[in-house]
Amino acid sequence: MAVYFDHRIEAPESSAVPSHLTWHSALPVLAVASSSPTNEGNVDLYLQQGEYVESCHVGRPHQPAVLRWHPTKPVLALGWENGEVVLLTHPSGDQTVLPITHTAGITLLEWSSSGSRLVTGDQTGALAVWKVDARGRLQGNHLVKHEYSKPLTCCIFKPAAPGDDVAMLARASVGGDESALDMFSWKGAPLKMGPQEGLAFYVSTADGKVHSVDEQCKTSTLLSVEGAIKKLFYLNKRDALAVITETLMLSQYTLGPEGGAQEYMKVKLSSKTGQNFDIVWTENSLLITVSGEQVIRLWDLERDDNFVLSLDETLGFERGEMINCVSYCAAKEILAGGTSHGRIAMWRMVAQPGSSKGDTNAQWKLQTPTEIEGNVTQIQWGSSLNLLAANNSNTVLILCEHVMSAHFGQQVAAVQLTPTQLSITQFNTGAQLALQSDTHIKGVCVTKESVTVWNGKQVTVYELSGTVLRNTGAFPCDSHAVAVHGENLYTVEPNRVQIRTPQGTVKQLLTFSKAEGNPVLLSVCQFYLVVGTDTAHIRVFDLSRRDAKAHCGAKNLAEQIASLGALRSVKCNANGSQVSILISQVNGRPDHKVYFYDVEMDTVTHFDFFVGRPSSGISHCEDGERQQFQGTELSGRCPVSHFWDESEPRLFVCETVPISSESSSASSVDMADVSVVTLFCTQEHGLLLQDCYPKPAGLQALLALDVPYYYFSCKPGERDPGSTEVSATTSAPPHQTEPSKGAPVQFPHMVSRRALREFVGLETCEKATRDAMLNFSFYLTIGDMDEAFKSIKLIKSKAVWENMARMCVKTCRLDVARVCLGNMGNARAAKALKEAEAEPEPEAQVAMLAIQLGMLEDAEKLYKCCQRHDLLNNFYQASGQWQQALDTAESNDRIHLRTTYYNYAKYLESMGNKTLALVYYENSDTHRAEVPRMLQDDTASLEIYVNKMKDKNIYKWWAQYLESQSDMDSALHFYECAQDYLSLVRVHCYMGNIQKASAIANDTGDRAASYHLARHYEGHDDIKQAVHFYTRAQAYNNAIRLCKENGLDDQLMNLALLSNPEDMMEAACYYEEKGTHMDRAVTLYHKAGYVSKALELAFATQQFSALQLIAEDLNENSDPALLARCSDFFITHSQYEKAVELLVAAKKYPQALELCVTQNLTITEELAERMTVTDSKDLSEDARKEVLEKIADCCMRQGNYHLATKKYTQAGNKPKAMRALLKSGDTEKIVFFTNVCRQKEIFIMAANYLQSLDWRNNPEILKTIIGFYTKGRAPDLLAGFYEACAQVEIDDYQNYEKALDALTEAAKCLLKAKDSSGGQQEARVADLQHKVSLIKKFVHARRLYPENADEAVRLCEALLEEPELDPAVRIGDAFGFLVEHHCQQGNLEVAYRKLEELQKRLPSQNVRYYISQASLEALQKVMGVPIDGDDHTVKEEDEVEEDLNLS
């Protein structure tokens, strides 16, 4: 928590009443304007603590109107009522008067964001723009001057357009972002750095107009509103302009890219009329207004939300106190308001979880006010130090924030309340005193005998005697660090520590070398003083003797700690063996480690709160060291304060906050998530985490650790609700001699103490018990259970053992808890703990221990931690927390939701709240029985409930109740509403209304009602009606019984068929015994499943129709003999198909197959499969194959080739299977089967078959034929196929080249074949080779013709002389070659002779087949003779020849 020191400005005597004040934005310089009744005006500058700057006084015979600081330079612009504008430079006091431009009072002065432009305006509407250099000096005359004819009211500069973030781009480039890297290179577009500042601005006038002035100083009217404009604000996020008029009308305008403005919102702000108002605008678009009311009004323009902040009388404000002015500090997030009673009210923004900075969901928390005199009319935050200046109409005060001082020592605590007041608490006597100092208090140190305060310039010592404070000495001293031990005071100065008496006399000097630096930090614990220097050295001194002696040499921590910037705090333990250190890093941020210097070992270790682990030496014995601290997270934190126990050297405590809040102001600790962490620190075991718990609400900060208590300072106006300590009382102490310095007070306690976990309930125990408990906790922490129990074995107090059991809940040590419960003699808790061991989660077991010890909050947290919502639900119910139980059941334990509702309803019923109990009985779905039970004594309410619910079960319950009360008519009505037909029939029968009962049973068909009515009819010997209603009730056995007893044979058959097999069997026996209706007996035996009995009876009585029906239900599971007998019966009656099915079912496959053959029955695939079951045990493999072949033969005869193929294949006879498949003509299956079988014979058969297809036009078939012959190892057949291919090429296409290739392949195949024909193969090879040679000659001649036609003709003529030329080379092709040649050469006579010779050698051939039509027409034209008749004849002969060739 912080207090504010107020410094009154040291105003010169000639100064008058202050009227204006303004801070420089960065420098701690305050400008104050004052006015006198004689119309004279002054402007003076003051420093941080109100020091007057004499060189910067400006006086004029006119009133000052406006003050504006340059944004960066120490230059103040002053506007006066006569139109004069002066630039005042600090600290030189140089004054620059602007050239005369204005003739009326200055109304506005505004600097641009970087200060290169200054805008001045007056009441006549004259506006001038001035240029200022980088040093803040005026450059020449004004750049431009505009006349607006109306008084100017406001001016704001438009922010510059955002440019590229160079730092962000640089980081992205280093990270590998190519697009960011390109923006730095010549490849990308040039970086848009944006202008240094925005030079365009907006100015408003008293007639409600806003004018826009661009960067070239050209003006234009932007918008107009009603009334004079009081404030202008620019909304960066929306690129919009907000305008507030003197009537508090707020208008918002969006600004177009070309300069236009469009209104999008207009609202009237609430305020107190007729009062001056103060308006503040924040960067978060928050509009803050005060108008002399008791509240501050806030409008969030981004979220269109508004709320108010009011004063709280409990914090010291008075009723009717008004807020006159307001100012907001963005750096501290503090809103300050000045009141009419001389107080400064401050609200600090405390962000709620999940809310962003500036969110309206954030909570504004009112702080304790700072009191100054008079009526505060103006306040303003300013400078980089965040100082607050306040004008109270008489003078100006500067308020500087200071962290509240507090100290604890030897059972005395002091906490600062105001800049000059302390609250002193004596815990030994219970007294509480107040100390009022004459000076500001910047530090305090207390012992049991004295209170020492200092302010950096003076040290004052007060003697504490009982409840009296007496000033024993005061002396000047500029030490900022003071420590006290006994009657000695320790102060610091450069390179030494002074040991003084309370009156300031120096008794001893502790010198430090230049390398060791200047002492800046002091701390005393018992008899040891630790000193920290500005060069990060520490030294420890022993104070136990008369003179202080060095306990150890100076230690340079900079050598041990990397990135050490400066020491923040140093503390030593009670025996001087350990020193704890907090540091700041080089970058100024607090380090998240606590460092420990072991004096004896000269080593430095640390505990890192960022990761929640020490550097070394941690030794938790159990697996889950983190499980000791349920719900506490140590990682991601930073230490802010630390203390050693005043008597126990091992015990250390540290206060930590999350990393995100450690960089905030020191006063923010009270708002952060603060945790108090306790450690054991020893040489043998290092750093041991002993306890960690969140700081309770209402407490400010940790003050000290003194077993058995932690000591905390309290927040003003708050009290720790969970405090169980016995704090100091406020009872009136004895009379005091100096009431001005120390007096009993009645304000709330400022110090609260909380017992350590081990000492809850043992706060007043003796020292031996306290030491034993500390040793027990220490050994328990290191896991040494033997030593832990040794330390407490002599303790007999049950309270101690109970306290240790409570500690076991915190540490989750159930083994220790059992021992504690045994020593406590708490058998019930021990039994409950043993039963809880059945739970799989250790936390659930510990929770049961917590319940038995009354630690209900811990039990609740443990159940939540292990997510045992069922046990948590039971816990809430048992502890009477029914709302939490219901919430848990509804959200996480829905399986027990109805049970929870039921238990809550029982609880409410026991409490007499039947109305609410009824609701929860309904929610638990138990209302049908529970509500009538609950309301049975209140029949009127119960009847209303029954009629309201309209539930059948409740109607039935009510009807039964009425029946028991003999109210039969009403009972019948409610039975009917409940649709309980049995009860209706029962009551009607009881009342003798049989017809009504029969009608109900017939109409509803209710079985129970029908059965009851049938029993009634049977009892009255009405057999027909009894059978009828037994049948409707489906009680067929009773109906059959009556039919047999009364000879109703016709009805008996129908009833038996409807009933179960036992009743059918009984009825069949009845018919068989009577000897009549044997067909019925057979049918019933069959339906009942007694097939053999039915068949036997059918054969015996020649019931052929029944026999046929029975045979349809026979299958392979039936008796084989029975099947054979039935099959013979069907053969006899020529029903062969049924007979075959029965023979197959009887597994007589040969007979069935023989019957199929003899009677030519079609064998289906299903029948074939049934006759050849692969896993049949009735057929051997050979017999099975024989049956398969017979089936296949039969299928072949019947033309079912595919099934025949399948059966031949199953029999293993693949050749026959192939023949069957070839008969089917399914080429695709033939090829597939051939490839699967891979047998030579099969390949050849398939290839032979494929030759019968159109292989000439289907290349795939051609390739398959060649492949099959090759795989079938039949080269002779393949050669024959190649010869056929060659002949086709010659005959059909005259393609001798392909024919030559085919014959060559044929010759190769014949050469591979084995000769088994006695020389025929050689002759065949020779014949092939002769054909190949002839074809080669002819092909050679044709190829030679284009190059040497004569030689080609000679070769062709020689070829015609060859014997046996045809069929190797057709004679017609050779003569055609010659005729074509001579026709082309023009030797038509020779060509004609060759044609005649061709006709002689082939008289039956058509010459047109060999000679082109063009050549024939040329010969006919020249020779004049027809050749082979007309075209028609030739065409017919061609067609005939083609037909012959095709055939």
pLDDT digits (tens, 9 = 90+) for 405-464: 899 988 899 998 888 888 888 888 888 888 888 888 889 999 988 999 998 889 999 988
pLDDT digits (tens, 9 = 90+) for 1105-1119: 565 566 555 555 555
Residues 1102, 1107, 1109, 1110: is their CA dihedral positive or negative? positive
> Both tokens of residue 431?
């007294």
pLDDT digits (tens, 9 = 90+) for 1250-1293: 666 666 666 777 777 777 777 767 776 777 777 777 777 677 76
Please tell me the distance from the alpha carbon of residue 1165 to that of residue 1360, in angstroms, as a whole number.
65
Of 1106-1115, 1152-1161, 1212-1221, give the range with the top mean pLDDT: 1212-1221
Per-residue confidence (pLDDT) for residue 946, from 0 to 100: 78
Per-residue confidence (pLDDT) for residue 729, from 0 to 100: 38
| pLDDT exceeds 50 at position 169 | yes
Please tell me the distance from the alpha carbon of residue 1410 to that of residue 1279, in angstroms, as a whole number.
28
Distances (CA, A) of 47 to 51, 277, 859: 5, 29, 59
| pLDDT exceeds 80 at position 504 | yes
Q: Scanning the structure block, which residue is given the tokens 């059909």?
A: 1292
| pLDDT exceeds 80 at position 727 | no
226-240, 549-563, 1071-1085: which has the minimum mean pLDDT? Answer: 1071-1085
Please tell me the distance from the alpha carbon of residue 432 to that of residue 413, in angstroms, as a whole number.
9
Please tell me the distance from the alpha carbon of residue 1082 to that of residue 107, in angstroms, as a whole number.
125
- The H or E element containing residue 42 is strand 41-46
Please tell me the distance from the alpha carbon of residue 1155 to that of residue 1144, in angstroms, as a whole number.
11
Over residues 1335-1348, mean pLDDT: 77
DSSP string, 1379-1421: HHHHHHHT-HHHHHHHHHHHHHH-TTS-GGGTS-HHHHHHHHH
405-409, 1013-1017, 1180-1184: which has the minimum mean pLDDT? Answer: 1180-1184
pLDDT digits (tens, 9 = 90+) for 174-201: 666 666 666 655 444 555 554 567 888 9
Please tell me the distance from the alpha carbon of residue 59 to that of residue 64, in angstroms, as a whole number.
9
How, if at all, do strands 41-46 and 85-89 pair?
A: unpaired
Please tell me the distance from the alpha carbon of residue 1292 to that of residue 1308, in angstroms, as a whole number.
24
Please tell me the distance from the alpha carbon of residue 1036 to that of residue 1058, in angstroms, as a whole number.
7
Per-residue confidence (pLDDT) for residue 1426, from 0 to 100: 66
Q: How confident is the model at residue 1137 (pLDDT cuts 50, 70, 90)?
A: low
| pLDDT exceeds 70 at position 83 | yes
| pLDDT exceeds 50 at position 697 | yes
Per-residue confidence (pLDDT) for residue 194, from 0 to 100: 47
What contacts 24+ positions apart, CB below 8 Å, involve 946-953?
A: 946/974, 950/977, 952/977, 952/978, 952/979, 952/980, 953/928, 953/929, 953/978
Per-residue confidence (pLDDT) for residue 178, from 0 to 100: 65
| pLDDT exceeds 50 at position 730 | no
Over residues 636-641, mean pLDDT: 88
Q: How confident is the model at residue 904 (pLDDT cuts 50, 70, 90)?
A: very high
Over residues 895-904, mean pLDDT: 91
Question: Could you count the other beta carbons within 10 Å of the beta carbon of residue 505?
Answer: 12
Residue 1355 CA to chain centroid, in angstroms?
Answer: 94
The pair phi, psi for residue 209, each rounded to 5°, is -105, 145
The pair phi, psi for residue 1405, each rounded to 5°, is -95, 150
86-100, 594-608, 1194-1208: which has the minimum mean pLDDT? Answer: 1194-1208
Q: Is 983 exposed, middle or buried (0-12, 13-18, 19+ CB in 10 A)?
A: buried
Residues 495, 499, 500, 506: is their CA dihedral positive or negative? negative
Considering the chain, what is the average pLDDT of its residues?
A: 78
Q: Scanning the structure block, which residue is given the tokens 């009894």?
A: 1026
DSSP string, 140-161: SS-SEEEE-SS-EEEEEEPPPP
CB-based burial, 666-695: b 16+ in 10 Å, e otherwise: ebbbbbbebbbbbbbbbeebbbbbbbbbeb
Residues 29 and 381: beta-carbon distance below 8 Å: no
Over residues 107-114, mean pLDDT: 90
Over residues 781-796, mean pLDDT: 71
Q: Is 734 exposed, middle or buried (0-12, 13-18, 19+ CB in 10 A)?
A: exposed
Q: How confident is the model at residue 644 (pLDDT cuts 50, 70, 90)?
A: very high
Angle formed by the axes of helices 1023-1032 and 994-1004, nearest 10°? 30
Per-residue confidence (pLDDT) for residue 1123, from 0 to 100: 61
User: Which is nearest to 157 in space by CA: 199, 216, 104, 194?
Assistant: 199
Percentage of the chain beyond pLDDT 70 is: 77
Q: How confident is the model at residue 1188 (pLDDT cuts 50, 70, 90)?
A: confident
Q: Scanning the structure block, which residue is given the tokens 């001699």?
A: 737
Cα dihedral angle (949, 954, 959, 962), rounded to 10 degrees?
-80
Please tell me the distance from the alpha carbon of residue 919 to that of residue 360, in angstroms, as a whole number.
40
Please tell me the distance from the alpha carbon of residue 812 to that of residue 845, in angstroms, as a whole number.
9
Q: What is the pTM of this model?
A: 0.55
Over residues 1123-1145, mean pLDDT: 60
User: Which is nearest to 1111 in space by CA: 1091, 1084, 1140, 1097?
Assistant: 1091
Please tell me the distance from the alpha carbon of residue 1264 to that of residue 548, in angstroms, as a whole number.
115
- The H or E element containing residue 1181 is helix 1181-1197
Q: Which residue has the higher pLDDT, 279 or 1355?
A: 279
Angle formed by the axes of helices 1036-1046 and 1007-1019, nearest 10°? 20
Residue 188 CA to chain centroid, in angstroms?
Answer: 38
Per-residue confidence (pLDDT) for residue 1317, from 0 to 100: 59
Laid out side by side, the sheet with 443-446 consists of 443-446, 450-454, 458-465, 468-476
pLDDT digits (tens, 9 = 90+) for 385-408: 778 899 988 889 888 888 888 999
| pLDDT exceeds 80 at position 1312 | no
Please tell me the distance from the alpha carbon of residue 73 to that of residue 66, in angstroms, as a whole number.
18
Per-residue confidence (pLDDT) for residue 622, from 0 to 100: 40
83-87, 290-294, 555-559, 1126-1130: which has the minimum mean pLDDT? Answer: 1126-1130
SS3 647: coil
Over residues 478-500, mean pLDDT: 91
Cα atoms found within 13 Å of the Cα of residue 952, Cβ hemisphere only: 5
Please tell me the distance from the alpha carbon of residue 802 to that of residue 405, in angstroms, as a whole number.
39
